[in-house]
Amino acid sequence: MRNTAKITAAVLAAGALTLGLSACGADSSDTDGPLIVAASPVPHAEILTFVKDNLAKKEGLDLQVKEFTDYVTPNTATQDGSVGANYFQNKPYLDDFNKKNGTDIVPVVTVHLEPLGLYSHKVKKADDLKSGATVAIPNDTVNEARALKLLAANGLITLKAGVGNEATPSDITKNPKNLTFKELEAAQTPRSLDDVDAAVVNGNYAIESDLEPSKDALVLESPKNNPYGNFLAVKKGNEDDPRVKKLAKLLTSPEVKKFIQDKYAGSVLASF
């Protein structure tokens, strides 16, 4: 299931890349031209759009936002120069992506955290999950490990000591509720809620699906010492692009912090 899902995601991503980039019409390597940033729709593109509409012009930044719904295309487009930057991912995910794909994308500035949560349409509390319940989890390496760590932190399972960002269900040592796991592409987890007993959903996909993490999650990641902050990223060597520096400054401005606080009410947390 994991391999099939990844192959499907790659095919879809390639199609999205061909479609999306044909419409760009700009050279992202031209530092005098617009800065094209690939982003997940929520909250990343929304935050970028706020910057574009309210802050960029004063800084002399021509910002263009391109939305992608998968976790592959933004990095491949950044690597090949089709876009100048991306904003959608965390460090463990990027490290894993670079290692597996031979890319050299680097973080520029961390902007926010989207707490990962466990959701259900069938129970009101995690403890109410029945023996043998099915839980959907993301199938990409880092988010799957992150999901399992969330369940372990809340006593639903126990993982091998010292397990890192490559944990899979095979690393579970105790499973008192005999939970079974359905591995899905991250974007599919909220759509599975009518078919499974619960699902671990990334914050951006939860918000897109009209879930409110701060209120609807049965359990939610703690922001304390959390390594999964989302950042602006570029291909190595482009960190000093003046457009990137301007955007990094704006993304960590008091205006953006207030926008995040007002719009997301604790479901997205500013990291600066």
Render pLDDT for 169-197 as a digit per residue (tens, 0 to 9): 999 999 999 999 999 999 999 999 999 99
* Sole residue written with tokens 């460090």: 91
**Quick one: pLDDT at residue 27?**
53
Q: Which residues of 224-247 are buried (b: 16+ CB within 10 A; e: fewer)?
A: eeeebbbbbbbbeebbebebbebb
**Consecutive 10-residue runs of the chain (272 residues): their mean pLDDT?**
38 40 48 93 97 98 97 97 97 95 98 95 97 97 94 97 93 98 97 98 92 94 86 98 98 98 90 90
**Quick one: pLDDT at residue 28?**
57
Structure pTM? 0.75
**Quick one: pLDDT at residue 29?**
58
**Quick one: pLDDT at residue 170?**
97
**Quick one: pLDDT at residue 18?**
38
β pairing state of 230-235 and 85-89: antiparallel
Instruction: Find, among 185, 201, 179, 43, the residue nearest to 121 by Cα.
Output: 201
